Structure 1
Amino acid sequence: MKLMNVKGTSDSLPKEELIKRRVVNTLTSTFEKFGYMPLDTTILCYYDLLASKYAGGSEILKEVYTLNDQGDRKLGLRYDLTVPFSKVISMNVNKNITLPLKRYEVGKVFRDGPVKTGRAREFYQCDVDVCGIEGTFIEAEMLSMTSLCYKKLGIDVYIEVNNRKLLEGFILAAGIDENIKNKVILSVDKLAKIGERGVKEELSSYDIEDEKLDKLFSYFKCTIEELDNLDITNNTFTEGKEEIKELFNYLNSLEITECKFTPYLARGLEIYTGTVFEVFDKKQRIMSAIGGGGRYDKIITNFIEDGNTYPAVGISFGIVPICEILKEEVNEALYDVLIVPMNTNIESLKLANSLRKEDIKVLIEMNNRKLKKVFESADKNNVPYVIVLGENEVNEGTIEIKDMKNKTTSKFNINDIEGMKEYINK
């Protein structure tokens, strides 16, 4: 049997895992500053839940991993964290949950889709959602939080923002048949990738007159300030226009300059009902979005069906592409200090434990390798400091800590743990 990973999956080795943990810790600590609470939902779901018309739409169903359990029930692996979140709200509202609820979740999701850089089939997703708050007020706060998250990660981004009502209003104003609205939206959403000609070629099978397409694409050149000048009167456009204008009024007041109005942005999935946004790396190390989300007011409302409205908005942070970017930028050590015993096993264990009590990550060399090999390994793994602890050091009560980067050494009393801590953490 040839040992190999399934296409689109990978094992996370220690260096990659450290980067992922740093990303997750940075994000979740920021979420909590904005009042979000952790939640954990099931990976296995009933297929009917995932396939429901209120879930991810027909496009995503092509990528769902399905299976039958021993009771011949059809199940599926979750393809995102939004649908399971909606399920949790539906099952617990007015019982174990009070609204509004602000939650975040980090967990694995599965999609049997194309594999490319930054896009896998088994991957971590990190979602932040709010249920129970209408309007652009919460959306502005969410985009403010998003901006701060990427700043803390050290990734310079821009955020494309649009409104699905506005986009649908454009399509109706162009005279395009409402019955093919969703198909047009899916094609238009690819405008940045395949260009105007590519989108028009994709739409050619729907027999849309050229003048209607030209009119639609003329709307995509509008700025927010120009929306009021358009001769469009349908209610869908009007609602979308007012919402996007109000949102950008908040963003401009908060000086969130990363956000830019992108009137053709749709976010693909049919679940979105208002504001949508996608996050991109300015340096284009990853060409696809590294985060995105929007408002989805119908999913939970239609799940519960109790006559009430359950507005919701959320964003998903792309853990995989974010880590892909940071692995080129971050070269963190796996540990802080390497202790090399020279016939001093007990003393080395004692010293290591004393340093560990001070939150210093310590590895002890236990394979009796030659010092040259040990130092080569420390260099390769970016270990900042090495302590060679021999019998002479123990007898004299002094040790030397070698700074591997600066190629210098510093002496300490073997019991001066506080001094070593300050030196290592400097």
Structure 2
Amino acid sequence: MSVITDVRAFEVLDSRGNPTVMVEVELSCGVISSAMAPSGASTGSREAIELRDHDKNRYMGKGVLTAVANVNNRIKDTLVGLDPTAQLDADNMMIELDGSKDKSLLGANAILSVSLAVAKAASVRKGVPLYSHISDLNGTPGHYTMPLPMMNILNGGEHANNNVDIQEFMVQPIQAGSFARALQTGVEIFHALKRVLISSGLNTAVGDEGGFAPDLNSNSHALSMISEAVAQAGYCLGTDVTLALDCAASEFYRSGFYDLKGEGKRFSSNGFTDFLGELCDQYPITSIEDGQDESDWIGWKYHTDQLGKKIQLVGDDLFVTNTEILQRGIDNGIGNSILIKFNQIGTLSETLNAISMAKKAGYGVIISHRSGETEDTTIADLAVGTAAGQIKTGSLCRSDRVAKYNRLLRIEAELGSENAPYYGCLGFQP
């Protein structure tokens, strides 16, 4: 039996030029696998804590040498000799070693990088693709689907230096017959949007996640621009393609109100839900993420009661991939879907638990990247291996985003439509 013989960490850079943790796990059979931790911009307050050095003389205080040292000096000693296929054991050993509720002692960035590298090493040792190993860990061996992509083509909020309040405007090709065709649709709309913006005299610089980031008159203006791009690309909005929003409402929630400074409007909790409902009446929006502040559970209840039977309502900052918080949402009828970001919780095992809980409750599942990404493509395998249904991994430019799409293309070609059907509109909740 091949076991873990070495665990080593390095400080590397993410897509925003900030340090992050990279880990290599080496097995006695000679296998070496690596993984890197992503980092968020708009983060939930209850997320697991990524450990930063706070040394202002290095990387503006964002260095991760402490997290790297925790891997090299503490986690390594705990995991050496362990069978890499014992994922739950590895993750629980790190959780116990950390001892905190939010992984703040060792750092979620340290723990997650090790957790993912262990899974990758196990898949290589077994001689199977990572998505296959993940499906085994998930208790659903051999059950795969290709996810419906949620493609962010226009950025605002914390992801762009512009006057648009809503953080992400996305397209979803619900009627494409395959993932490859869905991706083609998104690419064609993305390039059409660039032409629309240029013809309107607007900026075509991109934000953190690769979507365009122009100054616009309003959030509705953004939707109008995308609608025009969909038509110019030769698709029918509402039939071939639907729209999705990530409001990231916690970023503009102040003293009990939602301040849309870009268009000079201020809303109560119910008022903001009603505003979003009006946008849904004007445009074929089928998914809204974080349409209320993470702490505004009363607002979320109204939000769900008003919109939850019509469209997908996704909890990101609300649920932070945490089963305790998700269970509270399920019990209280809050939202109907969860965004899954494994660095919010810090281990692969806990991520799989959250996915399982959501599915059992009938909640939709969207596997997601972070704004600070790397070339690591694990989330693509996670989406296929858990048959999640949807994936959110940014726009159609920037190699840190495109890497995930390219990995999904390779997986689809490898498995074929019979073994991994494309979810399309079936990925939605409700």
Higher relative contact order (CA 8 A, sep 6+): 2
Decide: shared fold, TM above 0.5.
no
State the TM-score, normalizing by the size of structure 2.
0.23
Query: Which has the greater radius of gyration?
Result: 1
